[in-house]
Amino acid sequence: MEIQNIFVVGAGLMGSGIAQTALQSGYTVTLNDQREEALDRAKAGINNRLERLVEKGKMTEEEKADCMSRLTTDTRLNAAAKADLVIEAIFEELSAKREIFQSLDAICPASTIFASNTSSISLTALGAATNRPEKVVGMHFFSPVPVMRLLEIVFGLRTSQEVLDAVKEVGKKMGKWLILAKDKPGFIVNRALLPMLNEAVQILDEGVGTVEDVDNGMKLGCNHPMGPLELADMIGLDILLEVMQVFYEDLGDTKYRPAHLLRKMVTAHYLGRKTGSGFYLYENGKKLAVNPVLTREHSLFDQQ
């Protein structure tokens, strides 16, 4: 099963990163999103990142031009009609992903493989939304996709070995280190990582330590390259909340219950780097300071 044409659904940070990595690996890519402005932004971002590689001597101008020549953007799902592999990278919601796969099932040839970049949702459930459950598989990339080496392959109950072999070849061509996970909530990496991030938020909410103390504790005490609250900001607090809710609902253990402060941060639209504020404040992606809402004192006016 040879794969050459890849259709990426979702032009956000993950989708554009997957598209860029596929282009650099020699694939022809169509990047899809409902919003034209999102596609324009993603294409410009890919072009800029490739230009930086040229400036650093890691890519030639000719190689960059070749990559961009193999990129197409389209707002229509019908553009997937010739895709060998679809990689869905939209937000973490089962109903939305199922709807995408159901639509693509009627558009794509029977040979097309459907992959999801989901970090927690059941591939068996996604496969059941199609007439090709044996061709539905998880390809969980890590952000930023062009830099992070890991690719977590997840197999549903009906995923075929032929499909696993095909996506393995794609992953190897992309230069990724592959790990294989069963279809359980969170799979391997996020099942271990995200409860730790949620617990860090709980520790902060209980006043056990400050934002900086929690992060420095894990960086300097456990040799983590990034503190858990800073990492949560990078992932997106809304995504962390969505995944923890999936864990809590599917696994039924209170240790997976989302921290109350996490819910409040998402409600207040403090989502992390992408909104310029989470546990820290950001400008153009650069961390500036702790979000002052987490440090300020409140008091009533003196009463006579």
Q: What is the mean pLDDT of residues 202-207?
A: 97
Question: What DSSP line would sit under 58-81, residue for residue?
Answer: SS-HHHHHHHHHTEEEES-GGGGG
Condensed to tens digits (0 to 9), the pLDDT of residues 244-263 reads 998 999 899 999 999 999 99
Range(s) within the chain of domains with CATH label 1.10.1040.10: 191-294
- One-letter-per-residue 3-state SS of 198-229: HHHHHHHHCCCCCHHHHHHHHHHHHCCCCCHH
Q: Is residue 304's pLDDT more than 80?
A: no
| Per-residue model confidence (pLDDT) at position 297 | 76
**What sections of the chain are H helices per DSSP?**
13-24, 36-55, 61-69, 94-105, 123-127, 161-173, 189-205, 211-222, 228-235, 237-251, 260-267
| Per-residue model confidence (pLDDT) at position 162 | 98
Name the percent of the chain lying above pLDDT 70: 98
Q: What is the mean pLDDT of residues 173-179?
A: 98
Condensed to tens digits (0 to 9), the pLDDT of residues 6-52 reads 999 999 999 999 999 999 999 999 999 999 999 999 999 999 999 99
| Per-residue model confidence (pLDDT) at position 17 | 98
Q: What is the mean pLDDT of residues 201-222?
A: 98
Band (pLDDT 50/70/90 cuts) for residue 296 is confident
Q: What is the mean pLDDT of residues 165-194?
A: 96
Q: How many CB atoms lie within 10 A of CB 265?
A: 27
Fold of 191-294: N-(1-d-carboxylethyl)-l-norvaline Dehydrogenase; domain 2 (1.10.1040)
- The rounded distance, in Å, linking the Cα atoms of 198 and 204 is 10
Range(s) within the chain of domains with CATH label 3.40.50.720: 5-182
- The rounded distance, in Å, linking the Cα atoms of 273 and 281 is 8
- The rounded distance, in Å, linking the Cα atoms of 282 and 274 is 9
Q: Is residue 143's pLDDT more than 90?
A: no
Supply the DSSP symbol for 253: -
Architecture (CATH level 2) of domain 5-182: 3-Layer(aba) Sandwich (3.40)
| Per-residue model confidence (pLDDT) at position 102 | 98
Looking at the annotation, which residues are catalytic?
Answer: 119, 140, 152, 190
